[in-house]
Structure 1
Amino acid sequence: MPKITKIEVQKKNKERFNLYLDGAFEMGIDIDTYVHFNLKKDQIVDAQEMEKIQNYDQYRQAINAAIQYLSYRKRTDHEVIQHLQKKEISETVIAKVIEYCHAQRLIDHEDYANSLKNTMILTTDKGPGIFRQKMRDAGVEQHIIDKYADKYESEQPLEDIVKVANKILKQKKGPTVKRKEKLTQSLLQKGYSFEIIKEAMSEMDFEQPAEELDNLLQQELEKIYNKYSRKYSGRKLINKTIEGLMRKGYKYDNIKDKLEESGIADGTEEIE
């Protein structure tokens, strides 16, 4: 039967050993495997014992890979499993590694959720909806997602959301009704709920200088009128222009005044 003839420390990794059977290199093992099986020189190991040693060392290597992966930041079961699968570790071993990680509190979904919540509130301009999506992508259980998404919404300062909204609003031009629509859409995409958006918008000032809005209307009028003049004329052209401007949120009375100011009476005048 095979006999251990030498056990030596590896040159590049003092935590691993080279195991020799009958004078030939058999395999590398880590220090935990070495201690677990109490291996020593001249020990007899049969095929069944060697299989146990190999399986246990694979398990230890997988644990070490998981611990290294977890050392960078908190992870979930799903993330660790994916990482180990890329290393072609068997599903049986992965299941044992996940069990070990939970037992050692290396993986804790509640802690993961709380940490992600705090980090996102402090460092991003995203709302609970994005937080929920990140949690789902990470494989966190739904009841934990719901619990910490509620905490996220209650803990995120309204003043921070208003700041985000005001920053977005500065980039939105046009009538107030359209600016509000565009702002709402942008905030929804950032993960905020309609209720929170409504609350934040109630704290905001949407007033615009009359001259600025008038200039915007003039620009839009020229753009839309010239676009439709390629296809329509007369009253049809005027009506299409009015419809186009109203879709952009401009009021009918303001459009009518601007048409008259621009000298458009019957739709035949050209806007330069």
Structure 2
Amino acid sequence: MPKITKIEVQKNNKERFNLYLDDEFEMGIDIDTFVYFNLKKDQIVEAQDMEKIQNYEQYRQAINIAIQYLSYRKRTEHEVAQHLSKKDISEPVIANVLEYCHKQKLIDHKDYANSLKNTMILTTDKGPEIFKQKLHQAGIEQKLIDEYALIYIEEQPLDDILKVAKKILKQKKGPQIKRKEKLTQSLMQKGYTFDTINLVIEALDFSQSEETLDILLQDELEKAYNKFSKKYSGKKIINKTIETLMRKGYQYDKIKSKLEESGIEDGTEEIE
């Protein structure tokens, strides 16, 4: 029957031991494995005993890997499971490790969602939809996602969202209707809800002076006209120019007036 002939502390890790059976190295074990089985010199270990020791040692190694992974930041069950799987740890062992992590409060999805909420509100300009995406990707349960998304909306200051909107609006040029559309698209991309976006739009001033709009229209007209004059001729240049400017939100009458002001009647003139 195999007998433990020596148990020695490893040189580079005082919490791990080398286990020898019949004077031959058998395996390295964690201090918890050592204590759990109350291993000692001259102890007889049968094959089934060694299988239990090996299985428990794998479990302990997996726990240590999980704890190290969790030490950097909060993680979800899904993230920990993925990390352990990449380390070639079996599914039964992963399930036991996850159970251990939950019991020790090393994994707490409510705490994870709350922490991410606070971080995003304080350090990003993103809305609740992006928050929900991140929770979903991390493997958080849908019920918690919905619960904390509502809290996110309640706690994110409208003033902060308005600052984001004003910054975006400064970069958007053109008629009021198009500026509203562009702002709406940008805020949607940042994860804000329609209700919030509508509140923001109602609170902002989209007005521009006639002089500013006139300069913008002139600039857009020149770009469009010169572009189409390379492809078309005659009335088609004018029609294409008008269509383009109307899609950009400019009024038909304003466009016609600007064309006439620029001396364009039949589409044969060249704008410098």
TM (norm. structure 1) is 0.97
Q: How far apart are residue 163 of structure 1 and its match?
A: 0.6
State the SS of the aligned residue for 2:203.
coil
Residue in 1 that maps onto 2:172 = 172
Q: How far apart are residue 105 of structure 1 and its match?
A: 1.1
Aligned counterparts of 2:210 and 2:17: Cα–Cα separation in 1: 80
Alignment of 1:190-269 (within 5 A): 190-269=190-269
Q: How far apart are residue 172 of structure 1 and its match?
A: 1.3
Residue in 1 that maps onto 2:26 = 26
Aligned counterparts of 1:195 and 1:257: Cα–Cα separation in 2: 38
Aligned counterparts of 1:135 and 1:39: Cα–Cα separation in 2: 44
- Structure 1's unaligned 5+ residue stretches are none
Residue in 2 that maps onto 1:84 = 84
Residue in 2 that maps onto 1:186 = 186
Aligned counterparts of 2:13 and 2:168: Cα–Cα separation in 1: 54
Residue in 2 that maps onto 1:15 = 15
Query: CA-to-partner distance for each residue in 1:110-168, whole Å, 9 max, x for gaps?
Result: 11111111111111100000000001100110000000001101111111111111111
Aligned counterparts of 2:160 and 2:91: Cα–Cα separation in 1: 45
- AA aligned opposite 1:131: F
Residue in 2 that maps onto 1:119 = 119
Deviates more, 1:231-240 or 1:98-107: 231-240
- AA aligned opposite 1:80: V
Aligned counterparts of 1:232 and 1:85: Cα–Cα separation in 2: 62
Residue in 2 that maps onto 1:64 = 64
Residue in 1 that maps onto 2:39 = 39
State the SS of the aligned residue for 1:173.
coil
Deviates more, 1:260-269 or 1:155-164: 260-269
| TM-align CA RMSD | 1.1
Q: How far apart are residue 18 of structure 1 and its match?
A: 0.7
Q: How far apart are residue 60 of structure 1 and its match?
A: 0.5
Residue in 2 that maps onto 1:54 = 54
State the SS of the aligned residue for 1:8.
strand
- Structure 2's unaligned 5+ residue stretches are none
Aligned counterparts of 1:204 and 1:17: Cα–Cα separation in 2: 68
Q: How far apart are residue 244 of structure 1 and its match?
A: 1.1
- AA aligned opposite 1:42: D
Aligned counterparts of 2:173 and 2:164: Cα–Cα separation in 1: 17
- AA aligned opposite 1:160: D
Query: CA-to-partner distance for each residue in 1:199-219, whole Å, 9 max, x for gaps?
Result: 012111212243332222111
What is the percentage of aligned positions where both structures have the same residue? 76
Query: CA-to-partner distance for each residue in 1:54-86, whole Å, 9 max, x for gaps?
Result: 000100010111111111111111000000001
TM (norm. structure 2) is 0.97
Deviates more, 1:15-24 or 1:222-231: 222-231
Q: How far apart are residue 102 of structure 1 and its match?
A: 0.8
Q: How far apart are residue 187 of structure 1 and its match?
A: 0.7
Q: How far apart are residue 43 of structure 1 and its match?
A: 0.6
- AA aligned opposite 1:159: D
- AA aligned opposite 2:26: E
Aligned counterparts of 1:68 and 1:228: Cα–Cα separation in 2: 63
